[in-house]
Structure 1
Amino acid sequence: MGDGQQRYVGVAERRARLALRHRLAGTARAAAPEEVAGSLVALHGTDPATVYLAVGARLADPTRTVAETERALYEDRSLVRMHGMRHTVFVFPTDLTAVVHASTGLVVAARERASLLKDMAKAGAPDAAWLKEVEESALAALARRGQATAAELARDEPRLREQFVYAAGKRYEGIHTVSTRLLRVLGVEGRVVRGRPLGSWTSTQFRWAVAPEHPELDVAQAQAELLRRWLAVCGPATEGDLKWWTGWKVTDVRRALAAVDARAVRLDEGTGYVVEGDVDPVAAPAEPWAALLPGLDPTAMGWQERDWYLPPEWRPLLFDGSGNVGPTVWLDGRVVGAWAQRADGEIAWRVLEPRGVGREAETLIEAEAERVRGWVGATRVTPRFRTPSEKELAAG
């Protein structure tokens, strides 16, 4: 992480890098969902609609967003939906599953399994040997079926329907079903992944599928590879950004930075890092651009320190109480407003800057709203995590 003469990277250049590497500038748009996911490393998958809206915003031709994304996820399996950083569901390129599993999943998986066994023991439920039998039977049934819901698997393995009391006597006491908790554990262990939903592309009801086979990687090497890929897309970034995005300990972040020989640069927030060979200046796109990005978009959620692209005074409008960003309007690398879909399908948007953005910029934004309206069609999309600005615009 050689210091030497650290080059200053200002806000304008960071926005230029974002425009090009996040496939948002008109000349940088992608031809297929795999290119989008590969460029961003991961697409947020907690809200299923986010995956499609994030892809559509970055495709040169968004009209086949749904068909092409479903092909990649459920037919070619070139993209896979699984747990990753910060115990969050993402969509990754399939060739990254081993890296994600080793770099971020192993620690979470061990904690999740221990928690399940502890909760079952407290409730007087069967022991670990019993659970092992059930999971092996469930995995065998899933392999036979190809894809299945928890209810379908329970027809093959009835013990999945067993229930136990969670947190008995406490105000948050509840009844947990073995299938729900076990499939979650198997997901973070990288043994099962989310399959095709029961409904449309906005549905939150997923089938499960056996995870694609992948090699077991060394944890430190996997962390270095994940950080290298992310830093190539989102650098420069601070140590705090890296720790937040990965969910790792600061010691893991520093070890990975050293392993990839990251280069230090000066940012307004302090020291930032880029991958080796990425220190040279990056010019802004030749043409201005606008984008309508969905809630939880990986660009809007890419950094912990966001002042360089999102004014802090707008956060109460654009984020929910848990820190989830809602739909945002972007212009030349910065957030300038919010948008929402109304009940009649109209894409409503609003610029938050008091002095506006100018007629030319408004024309660009309206063209992006038309792009979204054109490919979403009759589908109605309500973000899973609603924000004050989105709710106000959606209500009309």
Structure 2
Amino acid sequence: MTTRHIGTEERRARLVLAHRLSPAARAERAEDVARSLVALHGTDPATVYLAVGARLADPGGTVADVERALYEDRTLVRMHGMRHTVFVFPTELAATVHASTGLAVAAKARAGLLKEMAAGSDGRLTPGWLEGVEESALAALARRGQATVNELCEDEPRLREQFTYGRGKSYEALQTVSSRLMRVLGVEGRVVRGRPLGSWTSSQFRWEVAPPHAELPVAGAQAELLGRWLAVCGPATEADLKWWTGWKVTEVRRALAAVGAVAVSLDGGGAGFVMPEAVEGPGEVAPCAAFLPGLDPTAMGWQEREWYCPDEVRGALFDRSGNIGPTVWWGGRIVGGWGQRDGGEVVWRLLDGFGGREAREAVASEAGRLGSWLGGVRVTPRFRTPLERELGAA
């Protein structure tokens, strides 16, 4: 049987449709966007809203729609997931994410906290002591419904205890039990982030007890998560899958076999995988423009990005830690970046020689669409990149 070949142009066409960048593929509700992308990157709170707004047929009500889904209907949940990173997931995926990635990360996170806490307190803060503190803190959180860390410290003062992290190292610093413990409880799926203290761009959140979910077998949960992601992001290489999930290569291969993934060849001689039902391509897809935020799940979807992110824009669009900033897309590839001036005006820069008049007019129209729903709100990315800074200062 001949191996199906999927070239770069077809990969980009698949991306445009699966990631709802085409106007014809835009969604009606925030949940539809999240399910389409599997996960919305949540490290920068504004990314969630901007990523959804870019993919809604009518972005005007984006903020209210996301807040409804997160805090009223609870159809979306903000929790730790792959690579110890905060994402927003469809609530029905919470158990799958917890079993497939959270358990292993949580065990490592708790072991690390106990070791660092004991070493940094000369044995004063013991595992038994921590157990009593977290039981008390969780009980207080359940009584309150939602609470900030400071509010929980009022109910359980031991949360304010400190220990020395990295004693004797160049990065030695005091850490407070509360901040580390809440992070561990989050990875363990025992608490989740609730409403922010400020507006939708705020990075300060209240905490709440996580809703109960089923305990799933790890292998089955990994197959479920990988299958969903591959349906959206295939074809993807083994390296892409390992990077996105944070799993061992043996776990990736086991999950690929479980979902019956089909191997395909890619431009450049690489090999990728698609779901069985996605072997055939989507046909011709009209090019379209999109303005995506920093850390958007499309821009951060693959480890190997050459097919959609030209080398000449990387230095301007990424920070030193590998976080991508706001990007301009055309036809399933990055063609520039964008930012905002102090007054909220959306400004952008395209690759030299990009497109003709029609393409540039489409980009300008999409910028206007983004600016209209932002309504002058100035969004500063949490991880700032060279081009975004330059455009914002212009």
TM-score bucket (shorter structure):
over 0.9
The equivalent of 1:81 in structure 2 is: 78
2:257 counterpart residue number: 258
Q: 2:23 aligns with which of 8, 21, 26?
A: 26
Task: Report the Cα distance in structure 1 between the residues aligned to 2:322 and 2:101, rounded to whole angstroms.
Answer: 21
Which residue does 1:280 correspond to in 2? 280
Instruction: Show CA shifts across 1:192-242 (max 9, x none).
Output: 111111001110111111112111111111100000000000001100110
TM-score, normalised by the number of residues in structure 1: 0.97
Structure 1, 23-32 or 171-180: larger mean CA deviation: 171-180
- The equivalent position to 1:117 in structure 2, one of 95, 114, 119, is 114
- Equivalents in 2 of 1:112, 1:365: separation in Å? 44
| Unpaired segments ≥5 residues, structure 1 | none
Q: Deviations over 1:356-375 (max 9, x none)?
A: 21111111111111111111
Matching residue of 1:64:
61
Q: What residue number does 1:157 align with?
A: 156
Alignment correspondent of 1:248: 247
Corresponding residue for residue 228 of structure 1 = 227
CA contact (8 A) 1:351 1:357 kept: no
How much does 1:288 deviate? 3.1
CA deviations on 1:311-369 (whole Å, 9 max, x unpaired) are: 122211111101111100001111111100110111001111x2221111111111111
Corresponding residue number in structure 2 for 1:215: 214
Shift of 1:157: 1.1
Q: How far apart are residue 143 of structure 1 and its match?
A: 1.1
Task: Quote how far apart the aligned CAs of 1:86 are.
Answer: 0.8
Q: 1:27 is matched by which residue type in structure 2? A: A
Corresponding letter in the other structure for 1:366? A
Work out the CA distance in 1 between the residues paired with 2:170 and 2:305.
37
1:126 is matched with which residue?
125
Of stretches 371-380 and 60-69 in structure 1, the one that deviates more from structure 2 is: 371-380
- DSSP 3-state at the match of 2:276: coil
1:277 is paired with a residue of what secondary structure?
helix
Partner of residue 306, structure 1: 305
368, 372, 375: which one aligns with 1:370: 368
The whole-number CA distance in structure 2 between the counterparts of 1:347 and 1:358 is: 21
- Choose the corresponding residue for 2:359, options 344, 361, 366: 361
CA deviation vs aligned residue, 1:233-269 (integer Å, no higher than 9, x gap)? 0001100110111011111100000011101111114
For 2:6 and 2:354, the matched residues in 1 are separated by: 27
2:145 corresponds to which residue?
146
The amino acid of 1:8's aligned partner reads H
> How far 1:164 moved relative to its partner?
1.4
Q: 1:282 Cα shift?
A: 1.3
Alignment coverage as a number of residue pairs:
391
- 2:205 alignment partner in structure 1: 206
2:271 partner SS: strand
TM-score (norm 2): 0.98
Residue 36 of structure 1 is matched in structure 2 by 33
Classify the secondary structure of the residue corresponding to 1:80. Answer: strand
Show the counterpart of 1:13.
10
Moved more, 9-18 or 168-177: 168-177
Q: What's the offset of the Cα at 1:153?
A: 0.7
Could you say which residue in structure 1 is the equivalent of 2:391? 393
Cα separation, 2, equivalents of 1:61 and 1:43: 19
Distance in 1 of aligned mates of 2:208 and 2:130: 19
Distance across 2 between alignment mates of 1:280 and 1:375: 37
CA distance in 2, matches of 1:159, 1:207: 19
**Residues 354-363 or 104-113, more deviating:** 354-363
Residue 86 of structure 2 aligns with an amino acid whose one-letter code is V
Q: Deviations over 1:257-309 (max 9, x none)?
A: 00111011111141110112211121233x43100000000001101111111
The 2-side partners of 1:378 and 1:86 are apart by 34
Contact 1:154 1:161 in 2 (8 A): yes
Query: For 1:40 and 1:217, how far apart are their aligned partners in 2?
Result: 22
Contact 2:227 2:259 in 1 (8 A): yes
CA RMSD of aligned residues (A): 1.0
Shift of 1:51: 0.4
Is 1:51–2:27 an aligned residue pair?
Answer: no
Task: Name the counterpart of 1:190.
Answer: 189
Q: Deviations over 1:146-198 (max 9, x none)?
A: 11100001111111111112222222111111111100000000111111110
CA distance in 2, matches of 1:173, 1:56: 41
Give, in whole Å, the separation in 2 of the partners of 1:348 and 1:62.
Answer: 19
Secondary structure, in 3 states, of the residue corresponding to 1:92? strand
In the TM superposition, 1:305-344 aligns within 5 A as: 305-344=304-343
Matched position secondary structure for 2:221: helix
Name the stretch that deviates more: 39-48 or 158-167. 158-167
For residues 385 and 277 of structure 1, what CA distance do their matches in structure 2 show?
Answer: 37
Deviation at 1:126, TM superposition (A): 2.1
Q: Secondary structure at the match of 2:278?
A: coil
Q: Of the candidates 88, 94, 99, which is equivalent to residue 97 of structure 1? A: 94
Q: Which residue in the other structure is 1:380 paired with?
A: 378
Q: Displacement, 1:378?
A: 3.1
CA–CA separation in structure 1 for the residues paired with 2:66 and 2:295: 18
C-alpha displacement of 1:21 = 0.7
Instruction: Quote how far apart the aligned CAs of 1:117 are.
Output: 0.7
Residue of structure 1 in register with 2:271 after alignment = 271
